[in-house]
């Protein structure tokens, strides 16, 4: 493992302390898991955006107006088929 020193706002530090007391976990464990979860989510988001941009480049997708009409159909009881 790599040691990393960071400065946190008092509110974040207090929230971590509170979670540590409530869960019995160490502050280090809570911060480590929070960073891992954030980085994993951000990596997934970037991968999804790369895929979406590749789909656009290959002209794969749906017309924006058709998508909005489909979403609006959810509320009127006559939901359009997912294929738009």
Q: What tens digit of pLDDT does each residue of 10-39 get?
A: 999 999 999 999 999 999 999 999 999 999
- Give the N- to C-terminal CA distance of the chain in Å, as an integer: 49
pLDDT grade for 76, boundaries at 50, 70 and 90: confident
Give this prediction's pTM: 0.69
Rounded Cα gap, residues 32 and 82, in angstroms: 40
Left, alpha or beta for 77 (phi > 0: left; psi -120 to 50: alpha)? left
Place of tokens 């480590």: 32
16: number of CA atoms within 13 Å, CB side?
16
Predicted pLDDT at 2: 92
Q: Please state the domain extents for the chain.
A: 10-75
Contact 84/72 with Cβ under 8 angstroms? no
């Amino acid at each position: 493992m790599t040691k990393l020193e960071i400065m946190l706002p008092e509110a974040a530090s207090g929230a971590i302390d509170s979670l540590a007391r409530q869960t019995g976990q160490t502050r280090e464990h809570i911060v480590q898991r929070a960073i891992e979860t954030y980085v994993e989510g951000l990596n997934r988001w970037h991968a999804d955006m790369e895929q979406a941009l590749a789909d656009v480049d290959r002209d794969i997708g749906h017309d924006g107006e058709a998508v909005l009409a489909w979403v609006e159909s959810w509320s009127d009881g006559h939901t359009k088929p997912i294929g738009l």
